[in-house]
A and B are shown apart, each in its own frame.
Chain A
Amino acid sequence: MDYLDQLEAEAIYILREVAGQFERPALLFSGGKDSICLVHLALKAFRPGKFPFPLVHVDTGHNFPEAIAYRDNLAEKLNEKLIVRFVADTIKEKNLQDGKGKFPSRNALQTYTLLDVINEFEFDACIGGARRDEEKARAKERIFSVRDEFGQWDPKKQRPELWNIYNGKIDKGENVRVFPISNWTELDVWNYIKREQIDLPSIYFTHERECIKTEHGQWMNVNEFVELEPSDIIEKVKVRYRTVGDMTCTAAVESEAYTLDDIIEELKETRISERGATRMDDRISEAAMEDRKKGGYF
């Protein structure tokens, strides 16, 4: 079997295990390439049947409009259920402090909304598009990752995960985060998108965009949420996004990649990791991701 067939087969196997083992699963959909791949894999796993889970999006309000449009269009085209919950509502209900500063991040706040939506629908499994190559805490996480009632990950209490046998047994109130593409790398995802001719939001391909340069030399797009300072110089640059996260904490990369082939070539040449190139939130500390996961983040 070709390696992409093997990765695909593993992911489909995991998705079907979720369907077989849980009563109320959900697929966490962000409009990014990884969750778009998950939807594509779910089509292969369950058609001609309907998905045994809804698509759930935690909308931070800081998403790229292209990703939101893609999300709505996809759910309609596939005729699958889409549940959207807004971080802005959680902030109001719980009287939380919104992100502050020049690039106000809602990254930590979305965990509240995520845990709320899990409670609201009593989801017992949440499928996510996280990959182990993204970050070193993720490299240690199981494919079936059990979270307690508070959504917390305890790396010391992980269940052994052997062969292709996934133990999804949990008590009421707990849930399992499931990562079917754990073993895929960024390049694998792109090779798969190319092979399967999967449609993507346009911001993955190069385009002209008004950006400012941050102190770390990253290109941040100018939008209503970013507080410009007098010293900021707005420049029109040719960029694309390697990751589609929030507009406030995802940087664009300079690129000449117009096609999937261009992107793949570009990635083979680059020596900077996906998160390193695009995320501002992992730079805070060495264990930023480990700490967020312990707090309920996916």
Chain B
Amino acid sequence: MEILRFFTAGNVDDGKSTLIGRLLYDSKSVSTDILETLTKQSKSTGENAEIDLALLTDGLRAERAQGITIDVAYKYFTTDKRKFIIADTPGHFQYTRNMFTGASNADLAIILVDARLGITEQTHRHSIISNIVGIPHVLVCINKMDLVNYDEKVYEQIKSDYEKFAQKLQLKKISFIPTNALSGDNVVNQSENLAWYKGPTLFEFLENVEINPNEQEKSARFQVQYVIRPQTDELHDYRGYAGSVLSGRFVKGQSITILPADLTTTISKIEKNGIEVEEAKEGEPIILHVADDIDISRGTTFVPVNDGINSEKTFEAIICWMDNKSFQPGQKLILQQNSFQTKALIKEIDNKINISTFTTEESDGTLHLNDFCKVTIKTAESISFDSYENNRKTGAFILINENTNNTVAAGVIE
């Protein structure tokens, strides 16, 4: 069994929370006691006596009061084939940063479109954000099909509109499903109303979609999180570098370069779960040992010798500004990439990306909440990175305000 992580994005009234509620409800992932509470709540909102499935995901009091999703909610369900982790993200423009957050770990984006309204500016925005976050696969759910009499022409028109729009993006794969989340058509069960649609239901799609289509094995990357030194009598000289393989694979005896120091050594031992192993693969938490006595600490990166990784103090990136307070370049920030931290400066805002049109505009020199900008960053120490397009693990970073400690921006390296 494997894990599929997806996030959902849609307009305020596209029925996104209802769709997730429907997935959980129809896959029998909702407990009876929770349904009981929901029935009570639905009645107290007084709208209708039926269960309001959206209430399954709106967890905070303010969200229930306003009937909107403010923060990312994580929901889980499991079938025989897969475990699903859903990041339910808000659609409002003012919560763009929360959507970016939910998208950052996802393998798949589900973008909801109201069949009556078709492709809107919001759809553009959600798709462009998915594109910047590098989501391998986008599924467009054309929802509320009941309100357009389940008309195939409406579906086809929206599909072709979207495909036309998506030409300017680099989305790897796009799929479409017509649904009616409120009644459950095409969510878990095939719909008679949509008999003209021959593709999978949403549920079938989620169970079978390829998680990383066309993915090739990446170059080996490892970063030290923590140095293990027991300093006991029997393990006097033990010095192990604990971390996870960020990508690719490492083998015992391999020659590696230690960055940013740019020193070469050999992997002398790999431990996994306390057992010595010959090789370690992407995602595995391990302890590495090296042959030479080199200064290695938290944040140090290991790569194969003669590897093409960049190790620079200046680079270009697209950042999403996430702080409520606007920001002018010049003030020092802290950059964090996995476990690596260094002081950093935004040297220049090259331009601003209009995330409704995917065109660039001139920046007013200030970063505002939810702005996407291309910037030049300078760091105090060299950062070892790949372009985000080539490696989501080494091409991503966050910026932290030294003064407030807040995460003020997320960035992907060009």
A residues in contact (CB < 8 Å) with B: 1-3, 5-9, 12-13, 16-17, 19-20, 43-50, 52, 132-133, 136-137, 139-140, 146, 155-156, 158-165, 167, 169-171, 182-183, 185, 187-188, 270-273, 276-277, 286-287, 290
The 6 closest A-B CB pairs, nearest first, are: A276-B33, A136-B59, A273-B31, A169-B405, A16-B225, A12-B285
**Does B37 reach chain A (CB closer than 8 Å)?**
yes
Give Cα distance in the complex from A90 to B373, angstroms: 52
Assess whether B228 is in contact with A46, with CB atoms less than 8 Å apart: yes
Assess whether A273 is in contact with B410, with CB atoms less than 8 Å apart: no
Main SS at interface, chain A: loop
Question: Once A and B bind, how many residue pairs between them come within 8 Å at the CB atom?
Answer: 167
Give Cα distance in the complex from A276 to B31, angstroms: 9
Residues in A with CB closer than 8 Å to B58 are: 136
Assess whether B2 is in contact with A167, with CB atoms less than 8 Å apart: no
Bin the interface of chain B by size: 35 or more
* B57-74 CB contacts (< 8 Å) to partner A: 57-62, 64, 70-74
Q: Which of B57, B74, B273, B284 contacts A183 (CB 8 A)?
A: B74
Q: Which of B3, B34, B72, B273 contacts A44 (CB 8 A)?
A: B273
Shortest C-beta distance, A243 to chain B (Å), equals 14
Shortest C-beta distance, B359 to chain A (Å), equals 25
A270 to B, closest residue via Cβ: B31
Q: A20-B339, A48-B230, A276-B33 are in contact. Are A163 and B285 (CB under 8 A)?
A: no
Per-residue CB contact flags for chain B residues 36-68 toward chain A (1 = under 8 Å, else 0) read 010001000000000000000111111010000
* Inter-chain pairs besides A48-B235, A137-B60, A139-B74, 18 sampled, C-beta below 8 Å: A1-B281, A6-B283, A7-B3, A19-B226, A20-B226, A48-B228, A48-B240, A136-B59, A136-B73, A140-B60, A140-B72, A140-B74, A159-B407, A161-B101, A161-B407, A163-B104, A167-B407, A183-B85
Q: Which of B1, B31, B398, B406 contacts A165 (CB 8 A)?
A: B398
* B302-336 CB contacts (< 8 Å) to partner A: 322, 334, 336
Shortest C-beta distance, B270 to chain A (Å), equals 14
Assess whether B242 is in contact with A16, with CB atoms less than 8 Å apart: yes
Residues in B with CB closer than 8 Å to A47 are: 274
Residues in B with CB closer than 8 Å to A290 are: 59-61
Assess whether B75 is in contact with A139, with CB atoms less than 8 Å apart: yes
Assess whether B235 is in contact with A185, with CB atoms less than 8 Å apart: no
**Does B92 reach chain A (CB closer than 8 Å)?**
no
Residues in A with CB closer than 8 Å to B73 are: 136, 139-140
